[in-house]
Amino acid sequence: MNVLPNFIADQFVESKSSEKIPVRNPAFDTVISYAPVSTEEEVAEAVEAGVSAFEKFRKTTPSDRVAYLLKIRDSVIRETDLLARILVENHGRTYAEAVAEVKRSIENVEAAAALAYTLAKGEKMVNVSPDIDQELIREPLGCFAVITPFNIPLHAWSSYVPYAIALGATVVLKPSEVTPIIANEVARIVKGAGVPTGVMSVVHGDGRVAETLARHPDIEGIGFIGSTKTGKFLYELAAKEGKRASINAGAKNHLVVMPDANFAKTADAVVSSFFGMSGQRCLAGSNLVVVKGAEKVVDMVREKSWLRLGYGMDKETEMGPMAAKTLLDRVLKFIEIGEQVGKLIVDGRKNKPAKPLGGYFIGPTVFLDVPPNSPLAKEEIFGPVASIIYTESLEETVELINKNTPYGNAASIFTSNPNSARRFALDVNVGNVGVNVGVPQPMAYFPLGGRKHSFFGTAHSRVDTIRFFTDHKIVTTRWW
């Protein structure tokens, strides 16, 4: 039995737990490994390693920490193909999508290195009073928990851990039990870069392990990307325990098409947004809002929504499977709901891979005339299901986006009118806005936005983690 080891205190160690979780290749429904449900003692050992490493690591120079990050970057670049293949095998996405995730992760490592020399510098003002100077310095706080999701296991790691390294904090990583394999490859790369013992550890397991880690009294804060249900639980736990929280949660994203949009280009962007990575992206579109006069785009979207399903390493494949059977079942449930409330114009259940693979496949699915108050329009599906909603005006559309769902992650408008785009960007209550962009993904040197029930906490991921991993101290100085 191939069981993933934990990575604690710079060593790969076999878990003593007797409970194992099968790790599958979702394209073939085959077991490719097992993840242990780490014991409380193993979680404590990982935290202890991080706490022990912190006192020395916090005093390392920025240049030393940047040197570690540049070595990590070089290794990830060299091993792009290996990392991408692991993502395909364990998650199911296409190879091109996997390579894109590796590249985005490299960008985070680079941004973290830059952060160490720029935003982390602090501030100083002389003569705030006669002969008195004041200085703001930023200090890392200790050991943090980072809990990553199944859909972007490498990118989520890179949205937190490189920044912790840049700032002198330490981390215990708990990857998703659905896609845990990449975490061990990252640990190998971190170890090879010479990062000091205990700065990053990895413990495997399910939600019970995540809760044990988050509750540990020596964990200073919780970084999380995942569902709103779990995110709210962790946020409430952090508040109760007096810990910091950076909780990136669920979404229900809207793509708005105005009458003056370029319909051909819009249709391409919309289909890519809805169905890229099989709809398993927090910034993926879910509701297509067609403003009066833009109805022509609907037929174009329908025509482009029949994608070739298959194994992600096959060049002909345009869309892979869902990452787990439970996720496929959830999508099928929403399709059944959709049949009761809307008009099904593309049925993904009829779309099959060219040859039977046995995996968790469902093709792009599109519903027309979806009532805004239906579960299909309001709830996160996290799969390749698109709902088309009609509105009379931009004002009605903005009100729909702001009030119809509890989420506030992303929204995009497709238009050739800069005034419409500007009004939309200023009025819509979401953290990430796109103009003629289907997936408004911020670059690594910007934080990922998120509002309402799409984010809980005060510091977002990526560069914003400077307010998560560190706190400021004000030093007031007078010399007699």
**Chunked in runs of 10, what are the mean pLDDT values of the chain (480 residues)?**
95 98 98 98 98 98 98 98 98 98 98 95 94 96 98 98 98 98 98 98 98 98 98 98 97 98 98 98 98 98 97 97 98 98 98 95 98 97 98 98 97 98 98 98 96 96 97 95
CA geometry: angle 205, 209, 213, nearest 5 deg: 130
pLDDT at position 1: 76
pLDDT tens sequence across 105-158: 999 999 999 999 999 999 999 999 999 999 999 999 999 999 999 999 999 999
- Tokens matching residue 58: 């916090």
Say which amino acid occupies 408.
G
CA distance 104 to 303: 30
CA geometry: angle 186, 187, 189, nearest 5 deg: 65
pLDDT at position 189: 98
Whether 287 and 254 have beta carbons less than 8 Å apart is answered as yes
Residue 198 Rama label (left phi>0; alpha psi -120 to 50; beta): left
pLDDT tens sequence across 37-55: 999 999 999 999 999 999 9
- Tokens matching residue 349: 């259940």
3-state secondary structure of 111: helix
Q: What is the biggest distance separating any 2 CA atoms in the chain, rounded to whole angstroms?
A: 83
Whether 137 and 472 have beta carbons less than 8 Å apart is answered as yes
Residue 29 Rama label (left phi>0; alpha psi -120 to 50; beta): left
Cβ-proximal residues to 277 (8 Å cutoff; 6+ apart), any chain: 93, 97, 151, 284, 320
Say which amino acid occupies 433.
V
Catalytic residue, chosen from 282, 323, 385, 421, is 282
Query: Does the annotation mark 143 as catalytic?
Result: no
The pTM score is 0.97
Helix axes 62-78, 181-192, angle to 10 degrees: 130
Whether 164 and 465 have beta carbons less than 8 Å apart is answered as yes
Whether 362 and 349 have beta carbons less than 8 Å apart is answered as yes
pLDDT at position 458: 86
CA distance 327 to 37: 21
